[in-house]
Amino acid sequence: MVEIICDTSFLIHLATNRIKNLSSLEVEIGRVQFVVPDTVVAELTKLSQLDDKKTVALATLDFIKSYKIMKLGGSFADDIVVSHIKKHGGIVATMDRELKAAIKKEGGSVISVANNKIILESSKV
């Protein structure tokens, strides 16, 4: 089982958009399990307190109820995820351009969405 660490931007996109080729991930990399860092859950909870983000944040929190929560600690999700990838390698799902670059720089792979399709990007070695 390949664990894919999800950041806030990817989860919001996944929860609020229809992704056409999500099942093709298993063909490309094997059985996958999306995991959510505890810092991302905290971030979504904070966003749910804001009037302009409340609906999307609550929908995303509801969407990830069945996802495995990964205890990474810390207060800023991006830094924690990059640190984890640096130590353990892996795949991160994000829509954040800066986070994508940081993950690839540390040797990780990135999954994102473009035109409602999943895109897998390997690290630049």
Flag whether pLDDT at 32 surpasses 90: no
Res. 124 pLDDT band, cuts 50 70 90: low
Amino acid at 45: T
The encoded tokens of residue 115 equal 């035109």
> What angle, rounded to 10 degrees, do the helices at 97-105 and 77-88 form?
20
Confidence (pLDDT) at 125: 45
The domains located in the chain, with CATH, are 2-121 (3.40.50.1010)
Q: Give per-residue pLDDT as tens, 51-94.
A: 999 999 999 999 999 999 999 888 788 898 999 999 999 999 99
Lowest average pLDDT, out of 18-22, 41-45, 49-53, goes to: 18-22
Task: Report the pLDDT averaged over residues 96-109.
Answer: 94
Contact 91, 80 (CB under 8 A): no
Token readout for 25 is 């991930």
